[in-house]
Amino acid sequence: MRVHSTVESAQRHLKEVDPSALRHARNRLAETGIARLGFLLPHQVKRILAAEALTLLDHHRQWGDLLPENEGVGRRQVDLTEQEVSAHAECIPQLYHCESLRHSLSVVAAEPVLSCPDAEKYRVSRLHHDDSLSQWHWDHYAFALVLVVECPPLEDGGFVQTVAHTRRDWDHADVYRTLTRNPIHSWELQPGDLYLMRTDTTLHRVHPFAHGRRTIVAMTFASGADSEREIRRRDAEPTPH
């Protein structure tokens, strides 16, 4: 399926999404900080996105094999940036800019979901079981739409854990206090699952896992407050002479 037909397929599907499913997802996001959105894209589109991500990672591995000894990517965590993804992929960037998708996400979020600045829009990430996993954290922008490409079975770990309705602490000094004073929710995920997370107010992490690897396509979106913050930051920057 070519790029334009993939996006067109997604657009047609989005027009037919049951409004009650969007309302249910909106309630789940408001309650828990995360909403499963597997219904939002057709299976064929999700398979194409997953295949594109796996191809990118395979090319990245081959590139690492060409580096001098001890400089290859090996089995370390891989994070392909927006620049790397946009240079070698088509469907992921095109879907990110799909207005029909962003409209549906805005319905679920109950507020406008906006594009992020360049270099922050999307990435492809892979974690191996023996990598140093990320700690509990908040994200810089408000929303993350995540497609699970690969993940270990539940008995091995690798599931997502969240603490909703928390206050983002930029230096992470109060993470443990936040964890002990709020309920922690754990979410079993399968390859092909799609979810939206409110990442600026939901403390979250990937639980350590014993075997295998976890691969995702992550798209980052901003809230109105994020955009205003970026404008203030730019206005505060000194003007070059």
DSSP states of 178-230: HHHHS--EEE---TT-EEEEETTT-EEEEPPBSSSEEEEEEEEEE-HHHHHHH
Say what the pLDDT of residue 229 is: 84
pLDDT of residue 240: 61
Answer yes or no: is 205 within a domain.
yes
**Residue 145 in domain:** yes
Confidence of residue 2 (pLDDT cuts 50, 70, 90): low
User: Residues with Cβ < 8 Å from 170, sequence gap 6 or more?
Assistant: none
pLDDT digits (tens, 9 = 90+) for 126-169: 999 888 777 899 999 999 999 999 999 999 999 999 999 999 88
State the pLDDT at residue 118. 81
Asked if the structure places residue 241 within a domain, the reply is: no
> What is the spatial distance between Cα 75 and Cα 33, in angstroms, rounded to a whole number?
32
**CA 220 to CA 117: how far, in whole Å?**
10
pLDDT > 70? residue 125 = yes
Element (H, E) at 144: strand 143-150
**Confidence (pLDDT) at 1:** 53
State the pLDDT confidence band at 3, using cuts at 50, 70 and 90: confident
The answer to whether residue 184 is domain-embedded is yes
The mean-pLDDT minimum among 7-11, 12-16, 222-226, 230-234 falls in: 230-234
Whether 195 maps to a domain, the answer reads yes
Number of domains in the chain: 1
Q: Percentage of the chain with pLDDT > 90?
A: 76
Would you say residue 26 has pLDDT above 60?
Answer: yes
Query: Would you say residue 206 lies in a domain?
Result: yes
- Whether residue 128 lies inside any domain: the answer is yes
* Whether 60 contacts 76, CB under 8 Å: no
Query: In CATH, what number is assigned to the domain containing residue 94?
Result: 2.60.120.620
Give a yes or no: residue 27 inside a domain.
yes
pTM: 0.90
Owning domain of residue 63: 3-236
Q: Contact at 8 Å (CB) between 213 and 160?
A: no
